[in-house]
Chains A and B, each alone.
Chain A
Amino acid sequence: MANVPEDLQYSAEHEWIDGEVTVGGEVTVGITEHAADALGDIVYVEGPALGSAVTAGEVCGELESTKAVSELYSPVTGTVTAVNEELAATPENINSDPFGTGWIFKVEVAEAPTELLDAAAYGELTA
């Protein structure tokens, strides 16, 4: 079973969100261990551009593994305040440490999202 940390929130598209999800707050976004395991060895990540606007539930980038390509969705609406530049050289961090060094981008939340899941609900979704 893939790890689902209790202190994070989740989207149905398999992103995790760390931080206070309130208007004006900054959250960190990545993909879950479940999603990383399903994709296999990730070799390329294209996150949203720094300063760009992202919308909850919409595509904001892509992830590519040897086996497959997957779209990256933003779980929240807001402005991108940081992108993980290290992933360009070490995309495998998403596989080895999806909830840590494998973080993908940070967003200043502009709208409070309505459809996030807690760890228990996400765990059920992927059980």
Chain B
Amino acid sequence: MPVRYTGDIAEHNAVRTSAGLFDLSHMGEITVRGADAVAFLEYALVGRMGAVGLWRAKYTMLCAPDGGVIDDLVVYRRDWDHFVIVANASNKDTVLGELRDRAAGFQVTVADESLAIALVAVQGPRSEAIVTAMISRDADNIGPLPYYAATNVVLQGDIHAFVARTGYTGEDGFELFVGADEAVEVWRLALAIGGDALAPCGLSSRDTLRLEAGMPLYGQELTRETTPFAAGLGRVIAFGTDANPRGDFVGRAALEAARDAPPKRVLVGLVGDGRRSPRAGYAVTDAAGTVIGEVTSGAPSPTLGRPIGMAYVAPEASAVGAEVLIDVRGRGEAMTVAALPLYRRT
């Protein structure tokens, strides 16, 4: 995936107003198959994979025993005993190793299929029409497909694809899993169908789109030193209830403690009125210059036309509307704490 094809802002705006095409083939695809697939994933991940229906997807995390996030994942259920885990490219080998370690004693096969599976995303308000037109068989399934659901289709050119209504842009959109050999053909098909309504999009627009949509990026908002709670994502952890108890899973004890302890820092959104943007690593200070947090992501928002960001700050400074200063290369820029997401599609 290149940083850009034509221009960052044009690509970003295409996804917000029409549609964008992303080559996500760098992402890791790890498959889990076997009789114990559900029991294994319930032990290895923080979410309840047994509760994921056939052809449904779930956003979840792989946590360390100390509760730190090893990676955030989207898990797709392709059959009763067959799951596809999409991991961040830079974490794929770590995730694969962890899953294999945790698979001891379970009847499962954990396979790295990253090189065999290509992933192409069509995102934006016109994505449904474009993806529907790309399909030669079962096209009627696309329109009614709920968010975080998937279906098998045949694309023009007799290409079999697993299509999910998922994405990382804050817009309606689809992700198409196809064989690596067919990726180029699918890309060309999408461009031929989409025409002027579909812009190839690079990594730069992917980052500003997800930032506006308040979606965390591993390595920035999520790290080994972060629990899901600090990132405001405690809801992805299923501890179980009295009526519906859940067994042990890796990180459970540490995550229960994190849930019950007051947070040391909280992930917040930032919005500024100036021109200079916060960037990852910049200090957040109060009016007196005391450091109260750190920026994890930031950019000039193409949609909002102002600087935005996300930051970890002390809980007492995390209220929506709180005024903070960001140390932008030695000069304090006033910004306001804002609720995430910073952009929500209408």
Evaluate contact between B279 and A69: CB separation under 8 angstroms.
Answer: yes
Taking the complex as formed, is B23 at the interface, i.e. its CB lies under 8 A from any CB of chain A? Answer: no
Taking the complex as formed, is A44 at the interface, i.e. its CB lies under 8 A from any CB of chain B? Answer: yes
Evaluate contact between A66 and B208: CB separation under 8 angstroms.
Answer: yes
Taking the complex as formed, is B160 at the interface, i.e. its CB lies under 8 A from any CB of chain A? Answer: no
Chain A interface bracket (under 10, 10 to 19, 20 to 34, 35 or more): 10 to 19
Instruction: Give Cα A41 to B10, complex, Å.
Output: 9
Of the candidates B10, B276, B299, the one whose C-beta lies within 8 Å of that of A67 is: B299
Chain B residue nearest in CB terms to A92 = B9
If the complex has contacts A66-B204, A66-B300, A69-B329, are A44 and B8 also in contact, measured as CB distance less than 8 A? no
Instruction: Give Cα A95 to B4, complex, Å.
Output: 14
Which secondary structure characterizes the binding site on chain A? Answer: strand
Binary interface encoding of chain A residues 41-52 relative to chain B, with 1 for a CB under 8 A from any of its CBs, else 0: 101101000000
Instruction: Give Cα A64 to B278, complex, Å.
Output: 11
Chain B residue nearest in CB terms to A44 = B275
The residues in B between 167 and 221 inclusive whose CB is less than 8 angstroms from any CB of A are 204-205, 207-208
Of the candidates B3, B4, B9, B300, the one whose C-beta lies within 8 Å of that of A64 is: B300
Taking the complex as formed, is B277 at the interface, i.e. its CB lies under 8 A from any CB of chain A? Answer: yes
Q: How far is the CB of A23 from chain B (nearest CB, A)?
A: 32
Chain A residues, CB < 8 A from B205: 66
Evaluate contact between A64 and B276: CB separation under 8 angstroms.
Answer: yes
Chain A residues, CB < 8 A from B204: 40, 66-67
Evaluate contact between A67 and B275: CB separation under 8 angstroms.
Answer: no
Evaluate contact between A41 and B275: CB separation under 8 angstroms.
Answer: no
Binary interface encoding of chain B residues 2-29 relative to chain A, with 1 for a CB under 8 A from any of its CBs, else 0: 0110011110100000000000000000
Instruction: Give Cα A66 to B299, complex, Å.
Output: 6
Taking the complex as formed, is B332 at the interface, i.e. its CB lies under 8 A from any CB of chain A? Answer: no
The residues in A between 1 and 53 inclusive whose CB is less than 8 angstroms from any CB of B are 40-41, 43-44, 46
Of the candidates A43, A46, A62, A95, the one whose C-beta lies within 8 Å of that of B300 is: A43
Q: How far is the CB of A61 from chain B (nearest CB, A)?
A: 11
Instruction: Give Cα A95 to B302, complex, Å.
Output: 16
The residues in A between 63 and 94 inclusive whose CB is less than 8 angstroms from any CB of B are 64-67, 69
Q: How far is the CB of B228 from chain A (nearest CB, A)?
A: 28
Chain B residues, CB < 8 A from A62: 329
If the complex has contacts A40-B204, A44-B276, A44-B300, are A66 and B329 also in contact, measured as CB distance less than 8 A? no
Chain B residues, CB < 8 A from A67: 3-4, 8, 204, 207, 299
Chain A residues, CB < 8 A from B207: 67
Evaluate contact between B8 and A66: CB separation under 8 angstroms.
Answer: yes
Chain B residue nearest in CB terms to A43 = B300
Chain B residues, CB < 8 A from A64: 275-277, 300
Q: How far is the CB of B204 from chain A (nearest CB, A)?
A: 4
Instruction: Give Cα A49 to B331, complex, Å.
Output: 16
Chain A residues, CB < 8 A from B8: 40-41, 65-67
Instruction: Give Cα A67 to B277, complex, Å.
Output: 10
Instruction: Give Cα A67 to B4, complex, Å.
Output: 10
Chain B residue nearest in CB terms to A69 = B279
Chain A residues, CB < 8 A from B329: 62, 69
Which residues on A are within 8 Å of B, measured CB to CB?
40-41, 43-44, 46, 62, 64-67, 69, 95
Task: Across the A-B interface, give the 4 residue pairs with the lowest CB-CB distance, nearest first.
Answer: A67-B204, A43-B300, A41-B9, A44-B275
Given contacts A66-B204, A66-B299, A95-B7, 16 further A-B pairs with CB under 8 A are: A41-B8, A44-B275, A44-B276, A44-B300, A64-B276, A64-B300, A66-B9, A66-B205, A66-B208, A66-B302, A67-B3, A67-B4, A67-B8, A67-B207, A67-B299, A69-B329
Give 9 CB contacts A-B under 8 Å. Answer: A40-B204, A44-B276, A66-B8, A66-B9, A66-B12, A66-B208, A66-B299, A69-B329, A95-B7
